[in-house]
Amino acid sequence: MGDGLVTLALPAAVGIVMLGLGLTLTVADFAQVARFPRAVFVALGCQLVLLPLVCFGLVLAVDLKPELAVGMMLLAAAPGGPLSNLFSHLAGGDVALNITLAAVNSVISVVTLPLVVNLSVDHFLGSSSELGLQADKVAQVFAIVLVPVAIGMLIRRYAPDRAARAEPRVKVVSLVVLIVIIIGAAVQNGSELREGLTSVAPLAILFCLVSLGVGYWVPKLARVGERQAIASALEIGLHNGAIAMAIALSPALLDNAEMALPAAVYGLLAFIPAGLFVAWRVRRAPAAPDRAAREVAARG
């Protein structure tokens, strides 16, 4: 990675993404946990506990290179991605739940993400490795993840009209910047990316599919409503690859380009299974009322 891309463009991209999230949030969104507590706690359990364990099992099953394995675990520990709200809306999900999950998980991930990364570094690279997120680096993760969110929330609180006008623009800019970053990473790390594509791409797609499946079916088994299950699936299924890449590439944090490859590959490919999930839900949605009507008619 070029120094300019790492030290300027990528942190700026993450800042824009998290600022955009903050522009959608209010303090009341955190209190929304009381509105659907079961959906929130089931989704957070999947996101924070179940998926890292699933990712760990997948990584062991394919015998991934240690640095790439840590990169996959870093991705698994990252909170939901910035476009989960849009995909949830398209699929008929409860976008309010997406916002609540994004708010809560962004705060919790400041603790859980360094924990998962440090355990992964210790397991795959050995306890003698100099890599990891020690206490001083956790503070930097806090700055990367939460400071832009807090700024966005302050703008939303004290200048709501400006926040409303800025939010769609910030989303577009963040998407464009992320695409540029991923393309830049591909160009500057061509040989590593080719190796990553052959070893990581199938695993990244599989992990996205598993994340979507876990995010949908576990809430359904817990008797969470359909719209909430859809929201959970997309919040859990679309991980924030930008945060994972920033932590992996930052010279002050992990400073390891190989660890960023899973997030870069995932960022390029995750929209395919997520789009298929949305298409599946859209196709099923019109059939549900018809089926219910037939069942009522049959009972009558």
Q: What percent of the chain has pLDDT over 90?
A: 28
**pLDDT tens digits, one per residue of 4-18:** 555 566 667 777 777
CA dihedral 68, 71, 75, 77 (to 10 degrees): 120
**pLDDT tens digits, one per residue of 106-126:** 888 888 888 898 899 888 987
Q: Supply 194's token pair.
A: 């080719």
What's the confidence (pLDDT) of residue 152?
85
Q: Supply 153's token pair.
A: 């929330």
pTM above 0.85, yes or no: no
Q: How many angstroms separate the CA atoms of 249 and 182, rounded?
A: 12
- Which CATH number is correct for 3-299, 3.40.50.880, 1.20.1530.20, 3.40.50.300, 1.10.3720.10? 1.20.1530.20
**pLDDT tens digits, one per residue of 40-49:** 999 999 999 9
Given a contact cutoff of 8 angstroms between Cβ atoms, the answer to whether 178 and 14 are in contact is no
Given a contact cutoff of 8 angstroms between Cβ atoms, the answer to whether 177 and 16 are in contact is yes
User: Which residues share a beta bridge with 146?
Assistant: none
| Mean local confidence (pLDDT), 191-210 | 81
Residue 67 corresponds to which amino acid?
E
- Nearest Cα neighbor of 262 from 5, 14, 12, 58 is 58
Q: Residue 239 phi/psi, 5° resolution?
A: -75, 155
Helix segments in 126-249, DSSP class H: 135-158, 160-188, 190-221, 226-237, 241-249
**pLDDT tens digits, one per residue of 77-101:** 988 877 788 898 889 999 888 888 8
Q: Is the pLDDT score of 129 beyond 60?
A: no
